[in-house]
Structures are given as C-alpha cells and as structure tokens.
C-alpha cells in the first residue's frame, strides 16, 4: 500500500524528540551512501564497521569509494556533528532507534547469496539490544532473510526486548547514488507492524514530500522486488546484446531499433543499449541469486540462466572483433579506454574490462589502459598492464583502441591527435559511443556493437 501519512505522535518516545537516531552497519557502498544521506536529512547517524582502517579514514573525511557528490555531503554531516563512525557495534546498537544492515551479500560459487555478514550483525544486535528497535535489511538478500534475522535475534537475545524486522531494499545506481537516494523512483518497505511502518514513514518523510511513492508491502514481496527489478533490467540488456548479433549479420542498426522500441510506452527507452555486457555489484550476482532461489523451490530458471549466459559471452565480443583486424595479438600494443563497469564510478566488480584484459594477456598483447577513476582498483587485479595518466598517453604507438566504458571525456576526443599517436588506426567501440560513418570518414578501421 502507498504511504498515506502514518501518524507518528504515538512514538515520540522512540524518536527521542524530533530527531531519529540511526545506526548503519557496513560502511561499503550502500551503507555509506545511506548513512551520509540520512544524516543530510537531519538524522543522527552512527556508521559502524569492523574495518578499523576504513573507520579511521572516514573520521578524517576520506571516502573509500568514488561517488560524485558524496564527499560534500559527508563534509557537511561531520561539520554539523550529525554523523559518527565507530567499530563499537554495541554502542551503535544501544544508542540508536533504527538499525540498518547494509553489509555485503556476495555470491557463492553456487550463485547463492552469502549471508554470513548479515547473520553476524543479527547476532551482535541480539547481544546488545536494550529497548525497542527497528532492524532494517537494506542489503540485497534472498526471500525469507528477514524471517531468518528475526529468528536469530529471538534465539540469541539475552534480555528479551521488543523489536521489528523490516525490509527496505536499496535501488541506488552507482555514479548517481546521491541523486537516487534524495529523489528516488520509489521507496519499498516491507513491514509487519504498524509501529515499524510509522517509524519508516517518519524516516522517509523528507523524500515522500517530493511526491515519490513510499510503498508498503509484506516482507517477502519487498525482498523479492529488488531481485526482480535487477533481473528484469539485466534481461533487457542481454536481449539487446543478443539481437545485436543478428543486426550485424543482416545490416541493421541496433541503435535505431532501440530508439524505435523505446518509443513504445509499454517498453520505454531505458536499458535498451547494446554493448559488451553488464557488470557491477548488483546485476551479475542478483541474476544468479534469483536463479538459485527458483532452483531451490524446484522451478525452472531458463530465462535467468540465458540472461547470465548471454552476458558472459558478450564480454568476449570486443576481442573477437579486434582479432578480425589483428589475428595475431602477440606483442601488439592495445590501448583500453575505460575500466570501471560503468562511468562515474571506480567499481570494477564483474566489469567486462576484466574479461577483456584477461583475454589480451593470454594472447601476449601489451595492454595500456586509462580510466579516470578505476585504475587503482584494477592495479590490484593485473600487474602486467601499463596504466597511463591520460587517455591520449595510452594511444602512443598503439595498434588498436578498445573503448570499454562510456566516460564523458571519451565522447569528443581530438580524433586528429589520435590518428597521429596510433600506429594502426583500429577502434573497437564496445559502447557504441561514436558513429560508424564518421569514424570511417576520418580514416579509422572501426567496429562497434550491432551496427552496420
């Protein structure tokens, strides 16, 4: 049901005045964005993590992730004393009203989500709970996890206290996460009690005022909404990538098809861009996790398995196209523009660039790579890659350029300078940033995804 203005006056004793006191467990991507943005709404926030180094850095205003706008919000929150960082989980629990679990749930080899960190936080809550708390699962978790957390707290709790467990999945897009938090498409909350619903409505009142829907539902529906949303978006991407191969065979243009499809209001234009596959912290693991859940209930997972299969195969397309121009890559200098899985982030988790670099190194190519933000993370993965300080530096004497991430600074480069720098003027555009006719007119040997 949609939020209709739940009265909160009955729970003023819980709010300790007009200020909500929150604890956020996990200072990774979701936890930091959520904690800092909640503090910016005027709440008192304690961010707790077991990583001492990360906490010490945050106390000094150093954010361990790249997310535009987040640093400014953190600086403001620290200055106004609305946010604290600690490794003392007990203090965070006892000094707060609402406890957000924002820890990682990585995929195991089976595709199943690893809930060990979630369970650890649940046990810590049980050990230190000192009054009524709303325990909020914001981490992406399989259906039934809220019930599981509730049972753990009830079983491990030494002093019986009242509490509620709530599902509140995050829908943050890396690169625009602050905007997404402050002006979301929707806020989904799964809650069983009127008391918990009222507190969540109060917490999200600054956002609900912007007419963005605050949707209440049952716990299991809320848990599944996140997986279903990401799986649907991933399906759209894999569908377009599979169709792109046919476009190349028959001489059609996937970008024109995408535009024609997107004008249908039943379909819409978003996530219809063909490329070299999706990556990041959500789509790959969430597709696998949802498939695992379906498997565990005895249901077929043909669509989800196909979505994942198409995506993994698509990550190899760039090198396949490159080898049409350069069949032997040994000792060839290959430049890469873009390492993060998408622009405006330094996240390389499951990025197509990982597969591409691995293929190139197996072919004994010399790889020179540039990314505005993600190079330091990639250095931890590949020591044999040469990382440059500028995009143009990577092109010097290069036999080919692979464009893997559509950062804005790659959209309008100095093509004449590129031609002077490159040994061979070969460009494989994995994100369809440039126009084929223009690139060929400029004298480049050019190939892209699903275009003539």
Percentage of the chain with pLDDT > 90? 92
Of 318, 406, 384, the residue nearest 355 (C-alpha): 318
How would residue 17 be classed by pLDDT, with cut points 50, 70 and 90?
very low
Same fold, 9-217 and 227-313: no
DSSP three-state, residue 8: coil
Which residues are catalytically annotated? 282
Is residue 398 packed enough to be buried (19+ CB in 10 Å), middle (13-18) or exposed (0-12)?
buried
Domain 227-313 grouped into CATH 1.10.1040.10: yes
* Integer Cα distance of 80 and 176 in angstroms: 24
Please enumerate in sequence order all residues whose Cβ is within 8 A of that of 145, keeping only pairs 6 or more positions apart, or say none: 115, 118, 137, 223
- Phi and psi at residue 164, to the nearest 5°: -130, 145
73, 36 contact by CB (below 8 A): yes
Of 14, 2, 20, 67, the residue nearest 374 (C-alpha): 67
Q: Is the pLDDT of residue 14 over 60?
A: no
pLDDT at residue 209 in the model: 66
Q: Is the pLDDT of residue 184 over 60?
A: yes
Q: What is the CATH number of domain 315-447?
A: 3.40.50.720
* Integer Cα distance of 12 and 48 in angstroms: 25
Q: Which residue has the tokens 């203090």?
A: 91
Sequence ranges of the domains in the chain:
9-217, 227-313, 315-447
Give this prediction's pTM: 0.91
Q: How many residues make up the chain in this entry?
A: 452
The CB density around residue 421, as the number of other CB atoms within 10 Å, is 18
* Integer Cα distance of 244 and 449 in angstroms: 6
187, 136 contact by CB (below 8 A): no
Average pLDDT, the chain: 94
CA distances (Å), origin 176, targets 62, 67, 181 = 19, 7, 9
Per-residue pLDDT of 23-82, as tens digits, reads 999 999 999 999 999 999 999 999 999 999 999 999 999 999 999 999 999 999 999 999
* Integer Cα distance of 281 and 112 in angstroms: 14
Q: Is the pLDDT of residue 91 over 70?
A: yes
Q: Is the pLDDT of residue 9 over 50?
A: no
Select from 3.30.160.100, 3.40.50.920, 3.40.50.450, 3.40.50.720 the CATH code of 9-217. Answer: 3.40.50.720
β-pairing, 333-337 with 163-167?
unpaired
CA-based end-to-end distance of the chain: 48
Alpha helices for 16-166 (secondary structure H): 29-40, 52-59, 70-79, 89-94, 116-128, 145-156
Report which DSSP code applies to 173: P
394, 369 contact by CB (below 8 A): yes
pLDDT at residue 232 in the model: 98
How would residue 15 be classed by pLDDT, with cut points 50, 70 and 90?
very low
Q: Is the pLDDT of residue 444 over 80?
A: yes
Per-residue pLDDT of 34-48, as tens digits, reads 999 999 999 999 999
Q: Stretch 89-103: mean pLDDT, rounded? A: 97
């Amino acid at each position: 049901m949609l939020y209709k203005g739940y009265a909160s006056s009955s729970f003023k004793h819980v709010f300790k005045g007009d200020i909500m006191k929150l604890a956020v467990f996990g200072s990774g991507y979701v936890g930091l964005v959520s904690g800092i943005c909640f503090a910016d709404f005027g709440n008192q926030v304690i961010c707790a993590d077991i990583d001492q180094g990360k906490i010490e850095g945050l106390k000094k205003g150093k954010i361990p992730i790249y997310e535009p706008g987040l640093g400014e919000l953190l600086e403001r929150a620290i200055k106004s004393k609305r946010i604290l960082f600690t490794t003392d989980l007990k203090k965070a629990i006892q000094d707060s009203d609402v406890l957000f679990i924002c820890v990682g749930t990585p995929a195991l080899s089976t595709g199943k989500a690893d809930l060990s960190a979630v369970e650890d936080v649940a046990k810590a809550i049980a050990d230190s709970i000192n009054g009524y708390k709303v325990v909020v699962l914001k981490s992406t978790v399989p259906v039934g996890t809220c019930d599981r957390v509730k049972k753990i707290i009830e079983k491990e709790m030494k002093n019986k206290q009242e509490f509620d467990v709530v599902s509140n999945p995050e829908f943050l897009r890396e690169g625009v996460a602050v905007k997404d938090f402050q002006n979301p498409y929707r806020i989904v909350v799964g809650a069983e009690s009127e008391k918990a619903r009222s507190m969540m409505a109060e917490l999200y009142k600054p956002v609900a005022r912007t007419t963005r829907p605050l949707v209440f539902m049952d716990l299991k529906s809320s848990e599944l909404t996140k997986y279903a949303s990401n799986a649907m978006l991933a399906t759209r991407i894999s569908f377009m990538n599979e169709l792109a191969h046919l476009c190349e065979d028959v001489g059609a243009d996937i970008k024109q098809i995408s535009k024609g499809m997107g004008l249908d209001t039943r379909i819409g234009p978003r996530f219809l861009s063909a490329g070299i596959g999706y990556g990041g912290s959500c789509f790959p693991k969430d597709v696998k996790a949802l498939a695992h859940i379906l498997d565990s209930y005895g249901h077929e997972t043909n669509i989800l398995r196909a979505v994942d299969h198409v995506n993994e195969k698509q990550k190899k397309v760039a090198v396949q196209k490159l080898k049409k121009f350069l069949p032997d890559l040994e000792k060839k200098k290959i430049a890469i523009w873009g390492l993060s899985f998408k622009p405006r982030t330094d996240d390389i988790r499951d990025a197509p660039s990982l597969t591409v670099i691995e293929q190139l190194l197996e072919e004994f190519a010399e790889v020179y790579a540039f990314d505005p933000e993600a190079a330091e993370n990639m250095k931890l993965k590949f020591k044999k890659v040469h990382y440059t300080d500028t995009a143009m530096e990577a092109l010097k004497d290069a036999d080919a350029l692979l464009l893997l991430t559509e950062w804005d600074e790659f959209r309008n480069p100095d093509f004449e300078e590129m031609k002077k720098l490159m040994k061979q003027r070969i460009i494989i555009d994995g994100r369809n940033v440039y126009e084929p006719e223009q690139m060929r007119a400029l004298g480049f040997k050019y190939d892209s995804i699903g275009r003539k």
